[in-house]
Structure 1
């Protein structure tokens, strides 16, 4: 505030030093600023030079003081001057006051309404013009008249130049604000002329598509976007150039990002097409996951009744088969009844798979260290392969940890590896590769050296019940993988390579916020059912759990090497959790300790625990555990 008052004082002093009179009225015709020469020139009282003074009161005072000479109708005169002022039009005029002095009046409107007026005493200038006319007999009247008109014109021209400069400054400021808005907009805004050349861009293309240039003015449509992307969008561009506004959503072939571009025809003067492009990759992933969920719900509704009736029929068939086997049957009939029982059991297994596909399933992502996941998965996958089939796992992901549903990814990969094993036979190779695609997708490819997919398989392999294994296959393996991938908002593609078949999975690439190395956690709770619930939450988050049912047992297990955390209930039989943590902390100062309780916040035991360690309120949620362990990892 002191600095503001100082600035105001400097401003008033500077205005008062100007020899010309100056006044600024706002849009409501109230005085905003004036200088002392304005008051002195017109002899105004203090009330009319105070901010907020009304313009019509000032005009009425000047009329009454004789500033304008004799005025027949003062009220009409005031109204006329107020109406002229409300027009806010630039003007320049010269008038002779009642005291004989001549002044020029130059007014300019302000951008926010109101106007500024400068009053200049030009009496000496007019006197010189009069002397020149009276004393210069050699100059013709025409020349003198032209000189006077030229002087008047010059003064008006100076006023016009000042107004143009103000308009130019305002236009420059407006253009700068417009540029700032377009640059800050999280979308690519551009204009392409009738020849397909960019004439404007907000330089956001490289943020949308990282491998493109940011400044593309002067480049053609194909050069700026690349030939493949330009080919996808050329039809929309052509229709917009002909006056038809369109919107196109597409997957960029280079980056894999999902982009939505609006094509708007230019006006008749400018022509060309305006483009507005936004990245809708995450929206598309969420939309795909939601669509797959709706499909699953519909499939569940359609199959639940059929599955129930089919299960009843299988039960009846088994009962009839049992009764048949008790009867005297001809030679070979028992083999037929045994085959029937096997077929019925296979039908039951198929029903279980259908229930698994159509039942409720949600994607539960958690931080997963990619290399640790592969190291754990490799022995499981190799155990299912014959000696002649090798398995190679390649990790090209630069992020150490990703947000993944580790169970779904493991099930999907194992299913694909078993399919590849069946396609290879006794000898061959399977290669699993994880790589990022432009920081948008995690691409997982499974390559094998088998015979590859037939054309029929490439078109139908993702259809339910399609199989090339005859009676040995259910035809639901790839369908289940496809379902899991779509639930995650990803995509799945089948293709052939020169060496065999390839299955590619794309999942949203979401780096984990913290180090997600699986923790070895000692869980202490004397209630088995509560301990089981927390254990399941921790294992779902990818961690390993050792359980203890008492404080004494936990104290012994706390010396295990490699232990990262001790998570204990506060209320334990015998020694409480606070005392347990104190003993463990005395022997292992670097051990991470935390407690769980249903005690209220004001309880003395809980307050004593909170002073030293994190305390989670029961019932504990998976998110609470994830935040606890992630906070430790980030630290």
Structure 2
């Protein structure tokens, strides 16, 4: 091999090794052309399977024999089926759970000359996904985009070279084509603009980041490519980039409901900045997870700050009520008796306030299950309708929500009922209309919006409506209603927005929650159910049977131990508190230490902060639960 070709191959390998995802390229004969270091590390492959020329079929056989695909009855037949599928040369995307429990996504695209480029991504924990996204931002910005610039400069130099370098030029052109294909497969928009803000390079991913935007950007001005809303958010950072300042920032694209992260890096030619490299990606799910985590931390901090004060204040209220009771038994006159009654009323309001503080600051279980939103709203209407005055008209409508979505229906109904009551108070004696709507937004959010025809939010209310203890009702309000709605929504990864309607001037409260489609139910299997309450065991057994599972039962860890060796056992579901010496977590931990690999889950009615529950490594389903909540829990926690 010529020296320059050898050097090019080394540079290519080094560049691919800097990519955080695993990558492999096979030719039309399904023999390996190149793979990066992550490809070998992710699948723990021996050296002979990652060398150029290694057969795709041998790699599949190695993984199958090692158990990476689970139990395979006929290895030869399985390998041949995977080879036949690969030879079809059709683009594909799938997610697969490996034998070690790691979940990877596999995205394959055919090469025009024949063969495959495949990218593998470990998507197991959300925190690792966040770290990967941040690392990928830096790597793509510093490596892939700079590498594209180097290729362009190399091609311009080769254009003036003599014919003796034509073979090298052809090889570099092929390498550039592969690099571009790799850029197309990345889950991000990668581009460059010149000093006039026109695109000189771009992959075709902008429409994936900002829905509705064009994919062919070469020659377009940034304002035309990005659209008015996104351009207004990004253009100030363009100006800083052309002054030599790199930046990484996020903004919310209200039209699509997406949260977008953008990295800008100046393109320097000696002392002159000739352009700006752009890396942008959709981080909506990451932002939702961050919001939920931040809210959980704030709630835990609030619980720590208020628990001691609430305890002492509750004792103080108890003393005051006792003294007032003794005072009421004395002959103190009617005027004094009225003061006693007023004092007792104030104390009772203080007790109610303590309960609400405990609710907003303490942890609560989230009960996620597939929900038919129109049916849920019909139930809400029947609940709220009879409580409304005759001069108030409540209208509820849902659009484009025919499919089930995964939500905490109880929390949503509580929050919406709270908003309807607030709207009723805002309308007052004059009455008016309340409109509750539900709709999906860009397959990313589901929005619930409550609008009334009242006077709307005052400027101060618009600024502080979601703050705890802020109220416009004087002595009649606690100021915890909207803050509780905000708390419940953000814990679920959602957003709350308050504003006034441009049409009616009335108040509008918008709740946006992540739009999640129910996962496919797990395949029927033999379930060992461990529960010491006969009534609960019968109820859960019927739920499992209705899902197609077979069930064997035990009331204690000692009784269950004799059933764990039954052939075909596919799942163990145990209560935390059991009869006998061992608790559910202790029993499952002992099974795990003994090498039992069957999926193991827990259920309990203990509060989230109970040490017997929160310290267990096994997933926990809070009681009580419905069949839908149980099915959702199993589909999330049990590999298919």
Within-5 A mapping of 1:534-545:
none
1:455 and 2:486 matched: no
Q: Cα 1:591–1:281, aligned 2, differ >3 Å: closer, same or farther?
A: closer
1:164 and 2:170 matched: no
Contact (CA 8 Å) 2:462, 2:498: kept in 1 or not?
A: yes
Q: SS in structure 2 opposite 1:342?
A: helix
Aligned position for 1:349: 352
Q: Which moved more, 1:198-207 or 1:308-317?
A: 308-317
Contact (CA 8 Å) 1:191, 1:272: kept in 2 or not?
A: yes
Q: Give the whole-Å Cα distance in 1 for the aligned partners of 2:573 and 2:499.
A: 51
Q: Cα 1:399–1:278, aligned 2, differ >3 Å: closer, same or farther?
A: farther
Q: Cα 1:190–1:429, aligned 2, differ >3 Å: closer, same or farther?
A: same
1:471 and 2:447 matched: no
Deviation at 1:466, TM superposition (A): 1.6
Contact (CA 8 Å) 1:597, 1:618: kept in 2 or not?
A: no
Q: Give the whole-Å Cα distance in 2 for the aligned partners of 1:593 and 1:249.
A: 46
Within-5 A mapping of 1:304-383:
304-383=307-386
1:263 and 2:269 matched: no
Deviation at 1:515, TM superposition (A): 8.9
Aligned position for 2:284: 281
- Find the partner of 2:631 among 618, 623, 626: 626
Deviation at 1:220, TM superposition (A): 0.4
Aligned position for 2:484: 480
Q: Give the whole-Å Cα distance in 2 for the aligned partners of 1:229 and 1:490.
A: 21
Contact (CA 8 Å) 1:596, 1:617: kept in 2 or not?
A: no
Deviation at 1:591, TM superposition (A): 9.6
Aligned position for 1:14: none
- Unmatched 5+ residue regions in structure 2? 7-160, 523-528, 576-600, 604-620, 622-628
Q: Give the whole-Å Cα distance in 1 for the aligned partners of 2:254 and 2:518.
A: 26
Deviations 1:431-458 (A, max 9, x none): 1111112121111100112222122221
- Find the partner of 1:394 among 390, 393, 397: 397
Contact (CA 8 Å) 2:368, 2:632: kept in 1 or not?
A: no
Q: Give the whole-Å Cα distance in 1 for the aligned partners of 2:530 and 2:173.
A: 74
Q: Give the whole-Å Cα distance in 2 for the aligned partners of 1:242 and 1:259.
A: 23
Q: SS in structure 2 opposite 1:267?
A: strand
Deviation at 1:368, TM superposition (A): 1.4
Q: Cα 1:343–1:534, aligned 2, differ >3 Å: closer, same or farther?
A: farther
Deviation at 1:267, TM superposition (A): 2.2
Aligned position for 1:491: 495
Q: Give the whole-Å Cα distance in 1 for the aligned partners of 2:307 and 2:572.
A: 40
Q: Cα 1:170–1:604, aligned 2, differ >3 Å: closer, same or farther?
A: closer
Q: Cα 1:243–1:260, aligned 2, differ >3 Å: closer, same or farther?
A: same
Deviation at 1:375, TM superposition (A): 2.5
Aligned position for 1:575: none
Deviation at 1:236, TM superposition (A): 0.7
Deviation at 1:508, TM superposition (A): 1.2
- Find the partner of 1:512 among 479, 498, 518: 518
Within-5 A mapping of 1:18-29:
none
Q: Give the aligned CA root-mean-square deviation in angstroms.
A: 3.5
Contact (CA 8 Å) 2:470, 2:480: kept in 1 or not?
A: yes
Contact (CA 8 Å) 1:465, 1:476: kept in 2 or not?
A: yes
Q: Cα 1:604–1:382, aligned 2, differ >3 Å: closer, same or farther?
A: same
Deviation at 1:302, TM superposition (A): 1.3
Q: Calculate the TM-score normalised by the size of structure 1.
A: 0.60
Within-5 A mapping of 1:162-311:
163-268=164-269, 271-311=274-314
Deviation at 1:469, TM superposition (A): 1.8
Q: Give the whole-Å Cα distance in 2 for the aligned partners of 1:281 and 1:430.
A: 31
- Find the partner of 1:566 among 539, 542, 545: 542
Q: Give the whole-Å Cα distance in 1 for the aligned partners of 2:518 and 2:289.
A: 18
Contact (CA 8 Å) 1:434, 1:444: kept in 2 or not?
A: yes
Contact (CA 8 Å) 2:265, 2:277: kept in 1 or not?
A: yes
Contact (CA 8 Å) 1:246, 1:262: kept in 2 or not?
A: yes
Q: Give the whole-Å Cα distance in 2 for the aligned partners of 1:287 and 1:349.
A: 32
Q: Cα 1:251–1:321, aligned 2, differ >3 Å: closer, same or farther?
A: same
Q: Cα 1:360–1:376, aligned 2, differ >3 Å: closer, same or farther?
A: same
Deviation at 1:328, TM superposition (A): 2.1
Q: Give the whole-Å Cα distance in 2 for the aligned partners of 1:248 and 1:454.
A: 32
Q: Give the whole-Å Cα distance in 2 for the aligned partners of 1:243 and 1:514.
A: 50
Q: Which moved more, 1:279-288 or 1:460-469?
A: 460-469
Within-5 A mapping of 1:432-451:
432-451=436-455
Q: Give the whole-Å Cα distance in 2 for the aligned partners of 1:313 and 1:591.
A: 52
Deviation at 1:329, TM superposition (A): 0.7
Deviations 1:295-352 (A, max 9, x none): 1111111111111111111111111112212222134111110111111111001101
Q: Cα 1:299–1:617, aligned 2, differ >3 Å: closer, same or farther?
A: closer
Q: SS in structure 2 opposite 1:207?
A: helix
Deviation at 1:529, TM superposition (A): 3.3
Q: Give the whole-Å Cα distance in 2 for the aligned partners of 1:222 and 1:604.
A: 64
Q: Give the whole-Å Cα distance in 1 for the aligned partners of 2:521 and 2:574.
A: 26
Aligned length: 421
Q: Give the whole-Å Cα distance in 1 for the aligned partners of 2:218 and 2:401.
A: 34
Q: Which moved more, 1:370-379 or 1:258-267?
A: 370-379
Q: Give the whole-Å Cα distance in 2 for the aligned partners of 1:182 and 1:527.
A: 53
